[in-house]
Amino acid sequence: MAIKFEECVHNDFPDKYNVNGKKVDCEKGLQAGCKALCCHLRPALSPQDLEEDIEYDEKSPYLIKREKGFCIYLDENSKCKIYEKRPLACREYSCLDDERIPREVRFRLKGIVVGK
């Protein structure tokens, strides 16, 4: 079962580089105008993410650090600046079944972003 964005820190932690949990094709999502809405949800970091110096919010350890409501690693083109080492929670995440993402956005993405 996929690890939820904000529960990651409470679970067992697989090596994120061995996780094969890609549920959505984010390239297609971005082309369809998703604007990387998931990247304002504050994923929790795993010990492995912390060892790699991915920054967390000191007021809410160990949720990823944000600025202006979005993850500090999101660039101006809605791309992840640390894609190769993005956190475990980001690798496992799917926006399609997350009720925090507006229903109309999920409806629009359904059928577009379903991964392999």
Contact positions toward ligand SF4, by CB under 6 A? Answer: 24, 26, 29, 34, 36-39, 43, 64, 71, 73-74, 80, 82, 86-87, 90, 93, 95, 109, 113
**Closest to 65 in 3D by CA, of 76, 83, 53:** 53
Q: How far is the CB of 62 from ligand SF4 (least distance, A)?
A: 13
Q: How far is the CB of 18 from ligand SF4 (least distance, A)?
A: 18
**Closest to 4 in 3D by CA, of 106, 101, 103, 90:** 90
Q: How far is the CB of 27 from ligand SF4 (least distance, A)?
A: 8
Q: How far is the CB of 41 from ligand SF4 (least distance, A)?
A: 7
Structure tokens that stand for 76 in this block? 């101006």
Residue nearest to ligand SF4 (CB): 29
Instruction: Output b/e per residue, 35-62; b: 16+ Cβ within 10 A.
Output: ebbbbebbbbbbebbeeeebbbeeeeeb
Which is closer to ligand SF4, CB of 3 or CB of 64? 64
Which is closer to ligand SF4, CB of 50 or CB of 82? 82
Type and span of the H or E element at 70: strand 70-71
